[in-house]
Amino acid sequence: MIPTHPHMMQNFDYMTPTRLIFGRESILQLPEVMAPLGRRVLLAYGGGSIKKIGLYDRVRELLADFEISELSDIQPNPKYNPSVLDGVRICKERQIDVILAVGGGSVLDCSKAIAVGAKYDGDPWDLITYKAQARAALPIVDILTLAATGSEYDCGCVISRTETNDKVGYMEPLTFPVASILDPVYTFSVSRKQTAAGCADAMNHVMEQYFTADTTLLNDGICESALRSLMENGRKCLDHPDDYDARAEMMLCCTYGCNGILSLGNSYSGWPCHAIEHALSAYYDITHGEGLAIITPRWMRHILSERTLDRFVKYGVNVFGIDAALDKEEIAQRAIDATYRFFESMGIPMHLREVGINDSRIGEMAHHIAVNEGLENAYVPLSENDIRDILTASL
Ligand code: NZQ
Ligand code: ZN
């Protein structure tokens, strides 16, 4: 356990072992990356986008010498049953050596859960809920096709269990991918909806690390720059889906999102918007980035106070270029408005009702979040009532 210290730079113990292979035609390195990991491969993918863009055929060609089993149809908000359970069964039956995940965050996350489940004798849910500690995992290689989650560079996965309305985040260092192949060209075909949602997700990953009590000038600068880059390149990706440089910079910004590099030495933030959104997509199966875009400005308005004012002023001045000479409260309000307007300008629905969520289960979700997510230690602690107010304001 690393000790924490109030009001000073925090200790940390950091490692990201994942090899990033970035750029046009980086897929050519796939056989060389896979060879030392074994010949029996589980090829995991989603609903078929990789076939439409020719990536599936390319992978099969490059891995002609490997013995390939497949797990397809992994859904957004990947499901424990059937996807994780099917994957674990295939890995055990066919004695798979390595998982190749080809797709977006959902395919990668599902593959991570399979990787630990395949090396465990009991119910894999025990691992995902930390009732049992993973001791081993199959190695994972991925080819990313959607810039958003940062799953390609972190050891987290988020798995949904429909029957209990659970969407559980699981962090396990054994699930860092061995290598991530990142060719921005494979993201040209991502729809407007998913491009905007991916941009909002990555922006929120940065904000979840930026809005905290103690930060450094170094981290603040990287975060502010990442936010400006995501807004500028996100918009370019919508206007010109095949703009290589825009897709490339967006991809790299997203990759930095979740492995902690943006907050080394910062105090704990609690990732409150993610805690709240995960319940929304657990109960209603909505798109993660859209849920975040809806929650973020309401959460900001809820936590704005004398204590947090200076953070919002810094954010407004350095990210949106708001005049530093204005009254502080005015800067903060304008910064929150600008956040909302940016998401709206990307075509994201900005009300829960627009994504099919009404007030009927708000109380139940607020309770679920308060009990399961532990937001009492967040940057601004959130009680069940606070969470209910944020959800209600988002309707
Ligand atoms: O299933 P296919 O046919 O591949 O279509 C997918 C899916 O419908 C499509 N898509 C992906 N690449 C495409 C493409 N369509 C056209 N061209 C391409 N190149 O996009 C749709 C959404 O895919 P998904 O993988 O669900 O999106 P995303 O990457 O945003 O992942 C979202 C999931 O990741 C979790 C989220 O909660 C959600 O479950 N997260 C994972 C994190 C992590 N591991 O660190 C952190 C995040 O905060 C997040 O919670
Ligand atoms: Zn996210």
What are the tokens at 273? 């918007």
Q: Quickly count: other Cβ atoms within 10 Å of residue 233's Cβ.
A: 22
**One-letter amino acid of 361:** R
Q: Which CATH class is domain 19-187?
A: alpha beta
Residue 355 CA to residue 115 CA, distance in Å, equals 33
pLDDT at residue 2 is higher than 70? no
- Is 207 close to ligand 1, i.e. is its CB under 6 Å away? no
pLDDT at 317: 98
139-197 pLDDT, tens digit per residue, is 999 999 999 999 999 999 999 999 999 999 999 999 999 999 999 999 999 999 999 99
- Is 112 close to ligand 1, i.e. is its CB under 6 Å away? no
3-class DSSP state of 160: strand
Domain ranges of the chain: 19-187, 192-393
The domain made up of 192-393 has a fold known as Dehydroquinate synthase-like, alpha domain (1.20.1090)
pTM of the model as a whole: 0.98
Burial class (CB in 10 A: 0-12, 13-18, 19+), 236: middle
pLDDT at 84: 98
Q: Which of 107, 109, 114, 60 is nearest to 86 (CA)?
A: 114
What are the tokens at 154? 């972190």
Same fold, 19-187 and 192-393: no
50-74 pLDDT, tens digit per residue, is 999 999 999 999 999 999 999 999 9
pLDDT band, very low/low/confident/very high, at 1 (cuts 50, 70, 90): low
Q: Point out the ligand 1 atom lying closest to the alpha carbon of residue 281.
A: 37
Ligand nearest the Cα of residue 287 is 1
Mutate to test the pocket of ligand 1, among 51, 84, 112, 149 (most ligand atoms within 8 A of CB): 149
